């Protein structure tokens, strides 16, 4: 069995990063993957401007340790600059964001001066050169703003807009088709007959694949029928970058996924030393990446997070985002056998001093969805671990999109 690190290494090797890009307007760029680094076409600030409401003056009018007065000759408003030139002995009223006129190099806060309508009286402790934002102090023209590839967030939108950039080049979304396999699966809305269960995996995958960078096709349920599986695999591989199936990946009599993948494409590996999620067929049909996930619902979600999601990120050329490792004190006793890396469902809390504690969220069978739904993290137990006693330190990974309890 492959370790998860080796499995991810083989996936990375098998995947060619998508090169196709498209140009989108800034508002449509949120969450997309920037594919060409963005450079600043202008300086920001574009012109010198005031950081405070006050009065703009020249430092040559200041004598250290002496109060002085200057005649007030006009005003510079944000969006309405003063159009004259400041001479010796003069100052102007200025507001935050307004252009600092030629001849001035300093702004004093309005609270620090006295005004009689004609003259402004500056105090002894007036400081030269303050409260003026320099040209290019935030962004210099021609400088690198955002390095590609990067998932564009709200802050990036603000940064790009401040440099006047209205369009960016981003990765084309990747096409993902998914379906469930199994004779026992029933669609929602129909009553269950004996031997049947509801197809929950497709709903979880629908949620897991809800990302602006994926164009998703839900291909429904395929029966445990070799011919049907083959036809669907081949059809899906023609129009998609990635196929994800659930069920039929194990070694039971009706588990055909690996066999059919081998027939119409190639199997790279089909077992990983993790729990849940051991039977996982990874391979390719032509250029299409194939993931045959296990059938058990918890295994589907765990393998999606730890295997499929990083692979989709490789394909898009981004790094995985949830890579921060946390450690916590375990307040439950955890059973574990040596041999596989386990992802046990846990509830992570933090005390007032900032210390993390984690407890088991319940039964750990790979069919038990409720304990996963009640969890906010996985307790990650390494291959060699043979169980955890109360009070031991453990690694935890947050489950994306869950809430703190």
Q: Does 295 bind ligand AMP (CB under 6 A)?
A: yes
- Contact code string over 204-243 relative to Mg ion, x by CB under 5 A: ----------------------------------------
Name which of 45 and 248 has its Cβ closer to Mg ion: 248
Of residues 248 and 310, the one with the C-beta less far from ligand AMP: 248
Q: Which helix (H) or strand (E) holds 50?
A: strand 49-50
Q: Which of 149, 248, 265, 276 binds Mg ion (CB under 5 A)?
A: 248
Closest approach of ligand AMP to the CB of residue 366, in Å = 8
d(CA 230, CA 213): 27
Residue 376 binding result from Mg ion, ligand AMP, none, given CB thresholds of 5 to 8 Å by partner type = none
Residues in 158-197 that interact with ligand AMP by CB under 6 A:
180, 182, 184-185, 197
How near is the Cβ of 314 to Mg ion at its closest, in Å?
28
Name the β-bridge partners of 231. Answer: none
Q: Which residue is nearest to ligand AMP (CB)?
A: 295
Q: Give the number of residues in contact with Mg ion, rule: CB under 5 A.
A: 4
- The two tokens of residue 380 are 């990650």
**What is the nearest approach in angstroms of ligand AMP to the Cβ of residue 267?**
16
- Sheet with 279-285, strands from edge to edge, namely 214-222, 174-181, 242-246, 288-293, 279-285, 266-271
Number of residues that bind ligand AMP (CB under 6 A): 19
Considering only the stretches 83-91, 295-303, 304-312, 348-356, report the one whose residues sit in contact with ligand AMP under the rule CB under 6 A. 295-303
Angle between helices 309-316 and 4-14 (to 10 degrees): 30
User: How many Å apart are CA 381 and CA 276, to the nearest integer?
Assistant: 12
* Interacting partner of 318 out of Mg ion, ligand AMP, none (Cβ under 5 to 8 A depending on kind): none
Instruction: Provide the Cα torsion 327, 333, 337, 342; round to 10°.
Output: -40
Which DSSP symbol is given to 368? -
CA atoms within 13 A on the CB side of 263: 13
Which one, 225 or 392, has the nearer CB to Mg ion?
A: 225
Choosing among ligand AMP, Mg ion, none, which partner's interface includes residue 18 (Cβ < 5 to 8 Å by kind)? none
**Which residue of 103, 247, 277, 346 would you call a contact of ligand AMP, by CB under 6 A?**
247
- The DSSP secondary-structure symbol of 26 reads G
Tell me: does residue 182 bind Mg ion (CB under 5 A).
Answer: yes
For tokens 């494409």, name the residue.
265
246 is a site residue for ligand AMP (CB under 6 A): yes
Q: Is 384 exposed, middle or buried (0-12, 13-18, 19+ CB in 10 A)?
A: exposed
Residue from 49, 201, 232, 237 that binds ligand AMP (CB under 6 A)? 201
Find the binder of Mg ion among 54, 101, 247, 276 (CB under 5 A). Answer: 247
Which of the choices ligand AMP, Mg ion, none does residue 207 contact, using the CB cut-off of 5 to 8 A by kind? none
Residue among 211, 212, 219, 223 nearest 177 (CA): 219
Q: Choose the one of ligand AMP, Mg ion, none that binds residue 387, judging by a C-beta under 5 to 8 angstroms depending on kind.
A: none
**Contacted entry of ligand AMP, Mg ion, none for residue 246, CB cut-off 5 to 8 Å set by kind:** ligand AMP
Structure token digits, residue 388:
């955890």
Prior bond to 45 cis, omega within 30?
yes
Strand ranges for 223-331 from DSSP E: 242-246, 266-271, 274-275, 279-285, 288-293, 326-330
The residues that bridge with 49 in the sheet, in sequence order, are 99, 133
Q: Are 352 and 371 in contact (CB under 8 A)?
A: no
Q: Of these, 21, 69, 186, 200, which contacts ligand AMP (CB under 6 A)?
A: 200
* Closest CB 299 distance from ligand AMP, rounded Å: 8
* Residue 268, contacted partner among Mg ion, ligand AMP, none, CB below 5-8 A by kind: none
Distances (CA, A) of 42 to 47, 155, 162: 10, 18, 9
Shortest Å distance, C-beta 208 to ligand AMP: 13
CA 72/CA 67 separation, integer angstroms: 16
- Under the criterion CB under 6 A, does residue 199 sit at the interface with ligand AMP? yes
Q: Give the footprint of Mg ion on this chain (CB under 5 A).
A: 182, 247-248, 295
Q: Give the footprint of ligand AMP on this chain (CB under 6 A).
A: 180, 182, 184-185, 197, 199-201, 246-250, 252, 255, 294-297
């Amino acid at each position: 069995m492959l370790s998860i690190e080796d499995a991810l290494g083989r996936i990375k090797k098998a995947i060619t990063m998508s090169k196709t890009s498209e140009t989108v307007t800034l508002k449509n760029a949120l969450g997309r993957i920037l594919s060409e680094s963005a450079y600043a076409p202008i300086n920001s600030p574009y012109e010198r401007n005031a950081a405070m409401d006050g009065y703009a003056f020249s430092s040559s009018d200041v004598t250290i340790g002496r109060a002085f007065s200057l005649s007030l000759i006009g005003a510079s408003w944000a969006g309405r600059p003063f159009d004259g030139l400041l001479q010796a002995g003069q100052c102007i009223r200025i507001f935050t964001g307004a252009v600092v006129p030629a001849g001035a190099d300093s702004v004093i806060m309005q609270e620090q001066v006295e005004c009689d309508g004609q003259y402004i009286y500056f105090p002894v402790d007036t400081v030269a050169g303050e409260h003026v934002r320099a040209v290019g102090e935030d962004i210099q023209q021609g400088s690198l703003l955002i390095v590609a590839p990067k998932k564009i967030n709200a802050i990036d939108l603000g940064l790009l807009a401040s440099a006047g950039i209205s369009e960016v080049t981003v990765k084309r979304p990747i096409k993902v088709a998914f379906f469930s396999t199994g004779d026992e699966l029933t669609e929602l809305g129909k009553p269950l007959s004996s031997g049947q269960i509801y197809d929950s995996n497709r709903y979880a995958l629908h949620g897991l694949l809800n990302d602006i960078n994926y164009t998703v096709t839900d291909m429904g349920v395929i029966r445990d029928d070799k011919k049907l599986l083959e036809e669907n695999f081949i059809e899906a591989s023609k129009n998609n970058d990635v196929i994800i199936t659930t069920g039929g990946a194990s070694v039971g009599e009706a588990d055909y996924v690996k066999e059919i993948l081998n027939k119409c494409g190639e199997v790279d590996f089909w077992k990983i030393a993790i729990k849940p999620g051991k039977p996982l067929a990874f391979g390719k049909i032509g250029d299409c990446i194939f993931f045959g996930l296990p059938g058990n619902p918890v295994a589907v979600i765990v393998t999606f997070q730890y295997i499929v999601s990083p692979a989709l990120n490789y394909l898009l050329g981004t790094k995985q985002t949830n890579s921060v490792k946390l450690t916590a004190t375990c307040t439950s006793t955890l059973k574990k056998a040596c041999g596989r890396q386990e992802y046990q469902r846990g509830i992570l809390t933090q005390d007032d001093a900032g210390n993390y504690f984690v407890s088991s969220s319940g039964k750990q069978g790979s069919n038990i969805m409720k304990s996963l739904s009640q969890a906010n993290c996985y307790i990650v137990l390494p291959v060699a671990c043979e169980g955890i006693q109360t009070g031991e330190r453990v690694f935890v990974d947050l489950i994306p999109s869950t809430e703190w309890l």
